[in-house]
Structure 1
């Protein structure tokens, strides 16, 4: 196989793997404790609260890369799921402190412990090689994507 064909084959297989991973995560996000992506949305909120133990709602919102209204809605959803509690600060009644509940600690921990079964097909050495290759590709592609000018709707 020449270089051009190999590049096309590898790219097609990557897209297929990416699609299968997303399908796997969607299908395995059901149950009493959903898999939460630690880098986005509710998973990010759980991760930040877990890291700080107790955090004011204002500090939490300032750490998130989202509008305050969106953050507040996610906080309400986490409270409804009984992952967090909100309590007024004893020192300043205007401040609302947020804590993880026992259920929230489990959900936050689950994000750390999540292991896709598919990775069991690789040896430790192969996982290290795969990690190295993925890092190399991300480092090559990321600057090309993140530094493009965007229009007023956020599109490149």
Structure 2
């Protein structure tokens, strides 16, 4: 059992690290050298559909409002996001993506889709079902652990 756990642990680390490397290359090759992987997560959490409050984005990312403020300030300086006080409640700060931010959002979404396609295309239909089931269980287990923190 220990050997199996060690193998799975090594594979999970390898997959995670490879995805991070591929993401860094993607950002560099698409002229987004000024954006970190963490800032891309912020852009994803803000999304393109509507304006969101800083509080809702921080909650979605499971980070403090202060941490998000630093990231949004940097992204605002780089031209990816706009921050505005709410017209209804001056205590609330809304954040949305600029056109530049929306373009990066769409490109990054396509990047993730291409990664998944490149993985799944190598699998048989049966392997796809097993992979999907296993990842679903892993995700559910990790989510339960996160809720209990």
Instruction: Output the TM-score relative to the length of structure 1.
Output: 0.63
Calculate the aligned-residue CA RMSD, in Å: 3.5
Aligned residues: 138
3-state DSSP class of the match of 2:137? helix
Task: Tell me if structure 1 keeps the 8 A contact 2:81–2:97.
Answer: yes
Task: Tell me if structure 2 keeps the 8 A contact 1:36–1:111.
Answer: no
Distance 1:77 1:127, change over 3 A: farther
Distance 1:111 1:36, change over 3 A: farther
Distance 1:123 1:102, change over 3 A: farther
Residue equivalent to 1:98: 95
Residue equivalent to 1:122: 123
Task: Tell me if structure 1 keeps the 8 A contact 2:48–2:102.
Answer: no
Distance 1:106 1:123, change over 3 A: farther
Q: Which runs of 5+ in 2 are unaligned?
A: none
Q: Quick check: 129-138 or 91-100, which moved more? A: 91-100
Q: Which runs of 5+ in 1 are unaligned?
A: 1-6, 151-156
Distance 1:46 1:129, change over 3 A: same
The Cα of 1:84 is off from its aligned counterpart by 0.8
The Cα of 1:65 is off from its aligned counterpart by 2.6
Which has the greater radius of gyration? Answer: 1
**Per-residue displacement from partner, 1:73-97 (whole Å, max 9, x unpaired)?**
01112213321122455x4694543
**Per-residue displacement from partner, 1:43-70 (whole Å, max 9, x unpaired)?**
4432342254223445544655322211
**Per-residue displacement from partner, 1:14-47 (whole Å, max 9, x unpaired)?**
222212212212322321347987xxx5344323
Structure showing the higher helix proportion among its residues? 2
